[in-house]
């Protein structure tokens, strides 16, 4: 099994339950892991024999631009798009962290993790 990961992808987006969160925006950090089997000869050194992490980033960037109230649908839509574009992928894990969420105390981040297995 091969695992391709994209960790620490940073975005500024307007996700949040409260109107001020959707107005002010917030910083987010995204981690994506995908696992798949291949029969390809990896020594051939062809990008078509793997999951291109640039494509993972582009999927995430497109979904992060769509404002949503909750983190769960953002992470789920990213996983769904990966599954659609790469149906051979066995396991998908998407963790979305909201940095410094608007709470009454100091919190480094809140997060949601979606796991999508075949």
Q: Which residues are catalytic?
A: 98
Given CA atoms 117, 85, 61, 32 in this order, what sign does their dihedral have? positive
Note whether 114 and 74 are within 8 A (CB): no
- Alpha carbon distance 34, 26 (integer Å): 26
């Amino acid at each position: 099994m091969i695992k391709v990961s994209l960790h620490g992808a940073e975005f500024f987006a307007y996700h949040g339950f409260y109107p001020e969160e959707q107005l002010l925006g917030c910083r987010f950090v995204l981690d994506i892991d995908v696992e798949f089997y291949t029969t390809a000869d990896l020594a051939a050194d062809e990008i078509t024999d793997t999951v291109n992490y640039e494509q993972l980033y582009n999927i995430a960037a497109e979904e992060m631009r769509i404002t949503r109230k909750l983190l769960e649908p953002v992470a789920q839509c990213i996983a769904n798009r990966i599954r659609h574009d790469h149906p051979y992928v066995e396991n998908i894990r998407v963790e979305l962290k909201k940095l410094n969420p608007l709470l009454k105390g100091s919190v480094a981040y809140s997060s949601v993790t979606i796991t999508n297995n075949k």
